């Protein structure tokens, strides 16, 4: 009897452990630890966080299989690619208790009609940040980024991601994003190779710390993270290029074959409560898609130019490009980095 009881307890404990651990794979420096602690306190589910630096990295990781991840965060223009590859589990968000809290603008988005696979996490824009004490000219043009003035040369960082950088180059050159025109790719390569001698690093990680420390005076960056830099380095300003910044929506999704799908579903539903979504926004500096969350958001966040763009800001939501474009982009980026 004692052996049977011990076996029952062991099985029960193993089940509890399996139910109580969520493996979350998110962008680097993009998750509120305070929010995760609140989730664990309220649900008993421990969150194990791991990070990546680009959609390309996330895609490659999930395609490799058996990652052990439950919850992942793809950007909207990559969601159709993930679905085409069969890398996401259905979540049927419209059936969740807190789905009614989701802003109608983000219910049934073009990249996931019916929110069958995703729920909005954070949204914002991508361009670049400049220390205006170092360079005092007009920063709201990609001319500063791709033909940098002498003051900035050698202290520039560029994302290590063709998905982030090439749309900027295409807009600067006057082409449509997602073009497969060989001439456009030839001109982009020339542009980026001419810029390369002035670039200190190509990385998508550690930018916050490096900008604050003064290691960079300009970097491609996201709007919310730029706000976090400005809090520590007030002369650092986020640019809204006249050619167009890239708009994006990052989304919560569940990886195919997730070991703990139930825990991931619990987190997604939990996150759609206004107070919880606001905790993430207050940390990261981005807008979320949950109605009523602004009640719990920091006043400084509501007034920040990085979060509330100027009325004339040109923000263009990124498109899902065809496979031909992705292949050309990958080859260009590989050649640039050689």
Is residue 119 in some structural domain?
Answer: yes
Question: CA-to-CA distance for 38 and 48, rounded, in angstroms?
Answer: 14
279 in the same domain as 158: no
- Quote the number of domains for the chain: 2
Query: Which residues contact residue 77 at a Cβ distance below 8 angstroms, ignoring those fewer than 6 apart?
Result: 111, 163, 248, 317, 318, 319, 320, 321
State which residues form the domain around 156. Answer: 126-247+309-337
**Exposure on the CB side of residue 91, measured as CA atoms within 13 A:** 35
Radius of gyration of the chain measured on its C-alpha atoms: 21
Segment holding 250, helix H or strand E: strand 245-255
Look up residue 266 and give its two tokens.
Answer: 């619990």
269 in the same domain as 133: no
Phi-psi domain of 105 (left: phi exceeds 0; alpha: psi -120 through 50; beta: other)? alpha
Is residue 15 in some structural domain?
Answer: no
Look up residue 79 and give its two tokens.
Answer: 């969601």
Question: CA-to-CA distance for 167 and 175, rounded, in angstroms?
Answer: 9
pTM given for the model: 0.90
Q: Residue 255: which of 263, 244, 246, 243 has the closest Cα? A: 263
Is residue 5 in some structural domain?
Answer: no
Is residue 156 in some structural domain?
Answer: yes
Look up residue 270 and give its two tokens.
Answer: 């939990």
Digitized pLDDT (tens) for each residue of the chain, 338 residues in all? 444 444 343 333 333 433 689 999 999 999 999 999 999 999 999 999 999 999 999 999 999 998 999 999 999 999 999 999 999 999 999 999 999 999 999 999 999 999 999 999 999 999 999 999 999 999 999 999 999 999 999 999 999 999 999 999 999 999 999 999 999 999 999 999 999 999 999 999 999 999 999 999 999 999 999 999 999 999 999 999 999 999 999 999 999 999 999 999 999 999 999 999 999 999 999 999 999 999 999 999 989 999 999 999 999 999 999 999 999 999 999 999 99
257 in the same domain as 194: no
149 in the same domain as 87: no
Is residue 267 in some structural domain?
Answer: yes
115 in the same domain as 41: yes
């Amino acid at each position: 009897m004692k052996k049977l009881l011990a076996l029952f307890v062991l099985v029960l404990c193993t089940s509890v452990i399996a139910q109580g651990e969520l493996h979350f794979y998110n962008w680097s420096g993009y998750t509120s630890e305070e929010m995760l602690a609140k989730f664990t306190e309220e649900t008993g589910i421990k969150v194990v966080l791991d990070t990546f630096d680009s959609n390309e990295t996330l895609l490659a990781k999930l395609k490799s299989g058996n990652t052990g991840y439950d919850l992942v965060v793809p950007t909207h223009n990559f969601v159709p690619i993930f679905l085409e590859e069969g890398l996401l589990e259905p979540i049927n968000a419209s059936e969740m208790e807190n789905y009614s809290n989701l802003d109608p603008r983000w219910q049934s988005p073009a990249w996931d009609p019916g929110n069958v696979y995703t729920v909005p996490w954070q949204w914002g824009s991508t361009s670049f940040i400049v220390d205006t004490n170092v360079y005092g000219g007009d920063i709201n043009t990609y001319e500063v980024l791709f033909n940098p003035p002498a003051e900035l040369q050698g202290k520039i960082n560029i994302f290590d991601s063709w998905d982030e950088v090439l749309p900027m180059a295409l807009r600067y050159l006057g082409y449509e994003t997602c073009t497969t025109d060989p001439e456009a790719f030839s001109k982009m390569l020339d542009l980026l190779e001419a810029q390369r001698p002035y670039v200190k690093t190509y990385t998508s990680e550690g930018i916050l710390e490096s900008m604050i420390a003064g290691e960079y005076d300009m970097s491609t960056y996201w709007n919310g993270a730029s706000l976090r830099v400005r809090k520590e380095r007030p002369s650092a300003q986020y640019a809204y290029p006249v050619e167009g910044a890239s708009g994006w929506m990052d989304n919560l999704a569940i990886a195919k074959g997730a070991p703990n799908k139930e825990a991931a579903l619990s987190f997604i539903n939990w996150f759609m409560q206004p107070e919880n979504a606001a905790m993430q926004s207050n940390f990261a500096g981005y807008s979320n898609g949950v109605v009523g969350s602004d009640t719990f958001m920091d006043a400084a966040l509501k007034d920040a130019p990085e979060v509330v763009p100027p009325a004339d800001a040109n923000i263009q939501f990124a498109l899902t490009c065809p496979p031909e474009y992705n292949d050309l982009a990958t080859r260009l980026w590989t050649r640039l980095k050689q």
